Amino acid sequence: MVIAMGNTKAGTGKSALLLLLAHYLCSKKENVFLIALKENGSLDQFYERSKILEHQLPFEYFTCAPVQLPLLVSKLNEEGEAYILVEFPPEGYDEHIVPLFLAIDLLMIPFCYDGPTLHSSIYFACLALRIKKEISLLFLPNRVMTGGNYPFRAETDRVLRQIGPVSPGVAEHIGFQRVSSMGLDKGLIKRCSAVLDVIYSNYLLAKR
């Protein structure tokens, strides 16, 4: 199953959330591959630091150009059933985006409860549906402050649910700010396990 994390707006937490999902799936004894479509991005930097620290990662990591993704996915699928996690580049529409959407099964769109992020999330989701009508979408609220005041949260969720489902939100935590390599703290994974359990049961296992 190919799962992509993307949004045309930078700063929505794609890299950290994708790492979190990768570690969580590995804890479920799943076979996981992680792919970045942008060289020298956050995931590349995390990976280089993990090599320096000699981390034993539970998944394999790759970087490839967007045009190479379908071929890489095909090769990885030959190795057996696995979750292939892909971080989309933040750029908007160009000639390379079409095969990216065609290669994935589930598009997860992280967003925060603010105007600019909401607009970019809707645009990205509609672009995906225009390219691949049958694509599965999941909006993922991120950096949700516990006890925070979000007067338009219910309305935002209502609007997004007209396009695709909205998962439970990932709470803001200082552990995300400390992510500097691919070796995540187990406490951070445990703290987010309730949200990840819902995503795993309802949107990953159910779509296999």
Domains and CATH numbers, the chain: 2-207 (3.40.50.300)
Inter-residue contact 50 to 57 (CB < 8 Å): yes
Residue 151 vs residues 11, 25, 174: alpha-carbon distances, Å: 22, 34, 24
Place of tokens 């992510």: 179
* Residues 69-88, mean pLDDT to the nearest whole number: 94
pLDDT digits over 138-153, tens only? 999 999 988 778 888 9
- pLDDT of 18-51, one tens digit each? 999 999 999 999 999 999 998 788 999 999 999 9
Query: Distance between CA atoms of 78 and 63, rounded to whole angstroms?
Result: 18
Confidence grade of residue 92 (pLDDT, cut at 50, 70, 90) = low
pLDDT at 4: 96
pLDDT tens track for 164-190: 999 999 999 888 988 999 999 889 999
Q: Given CA atoms 27, 112, 87, 205 in this order, what sign does their dihedral have? A: positive
Tokens for 60? 């394999």
The pLDDT, as a whole number, for residue 202 is 95
pLDDT in the model for residue 51: 95
- Is the confidence at residue 93, as pLDDT, over 60? no
Closest residue by Cα to residue 173 from 47, 8, 17: 17
Bigger pLDDT: 48 vs 206? 48
Residue 71 has pLDDT above 90, yes or no: yes
The upper half-sphere exposure of residue 30, i.e. CA atoms within 13 Å in the direction of its Cβ, equals 21
- Going by pLDDT thresholds of 50, 70 and 90, the confidence category of residue 207 is confident
With a CB cutoff of 8 Å and minimum separation 6, the contacts of 81 are 31
The answer to whether residue 54 scores a pLDDT higher than 60 is yes
What is residue 151's predicted lDDT score, i.e. its pLDDT? 85
CB 141 within 8 A of CB 117: no
| Greater pLDDT, 111 or 96 | 111
Return the number of other C-beta atoms located less than 10 Å from residue 54's C-beta: 7
- 10 pLDDT higher than 90: no
Q: What is the pLDDT of residue 85?
A: 98
State the pLDDT at residue 118.
86
